[in-house]
Chain A
């Protein structure tokens, strides 16, 4: 069974840091690009960042560029999102998502086909 499980969310003060993790199973992690997508309370989905299967290409949304860093450890079947200088507007449920294309070179992504249940990040004093 394909599984994607996020962890690391929580309550953090503005300006502080948080690191999200995502552990996957059930598919060859090192053959697929991965994404982070978030959903703020009462808002729609927002793409945050993407990383190709060999980490050769990394992209960020303008809203997080320079503050967030995506990375992966293929030996551990894990994806990470280091979030620095957090702002209240970063408050959201963060989803770890698998890309649909095996050995796909991004961009573009055709679609995001396996999503986790998300981990909640709340930035507040």
Chain B
């Protein structure tokens, strides 16, 4: 069982905004700002889209934004596009023996 809790699915129409939440504990999301988000099209390599809670790697459009409040991190996708239909995973550094914890994943569907 993954340590971070994400909704199983989120959907939206093209152009809309959606938000995916990721809830952890005071040992991971709540304590450190090492939260990252990954987009995974099945059968392909996962892609990093957000790191250190809010930062975007070079080449990732600013439609993707991250935030954190307490033990919960969030990923917002604005101007939803067909290519955004994928699985999204959050991850965080943890002070437990499981150094890096992941969420179970959220399937984003573009209606």
Give the complex CA separation of A110 and B48 in angstroms: 11
Total A residues in contact with B, Cβ cutoff 8 Å = 26
Total B residues in contact with A, Cβ cutoff 8 Å = 26
Contact of B93 among A61, A108, A113 (CB under 8 A): A108
CB pair B91 A45 closer than 8 Å: yes
The answer to whether B64 has its CB under 8 Å from any CB of chain A is no
Closest-CB distance, B60 to chain A (whole angstroms): 10
- Of the listed stretches A12-20, A66-74, A114-122, name the one at the interface; the rest are far from the partner chain: A114-122
**Interface 0/1 of B95-110, CB less than 8 Å to A:** 0011111111100000
The answer to whether A44 has its CB under 8 Å from any CB of chain B is yes
Give the complex CA separation of A35 and B93 in angstroms: 13
The answer to whether A77 has its CB under 8 Å from any CB of chain B is no
For residue A35, which residue of chain B has the nearest CB? B100
CB pair A45 B52 closer than 8 Å: no
CB pair A47 B48 closer than 8 Å: no
Closest-CB distance, A109 to chain B (whole angstroms): 6
Top 6 nearest A-B pairs (CB, nearest first) are A111-B51, A108-B93, A47-B100, A44-B104, A111-B36, A45-B102
Contact of A47 among B32, B44, B98, B105 (CB under 8 A): B98
A-B contact pairs, 16 of them (CB 8 A): A35-B100, A37-B102, A43-B2, A45-B102, A46-B2, A50-B99, A50-B100, A61-B99, A108-B32, A109-B93, A110-B36, A111-B52, A113-B48, A113-B57, A115-B38, A118-B45
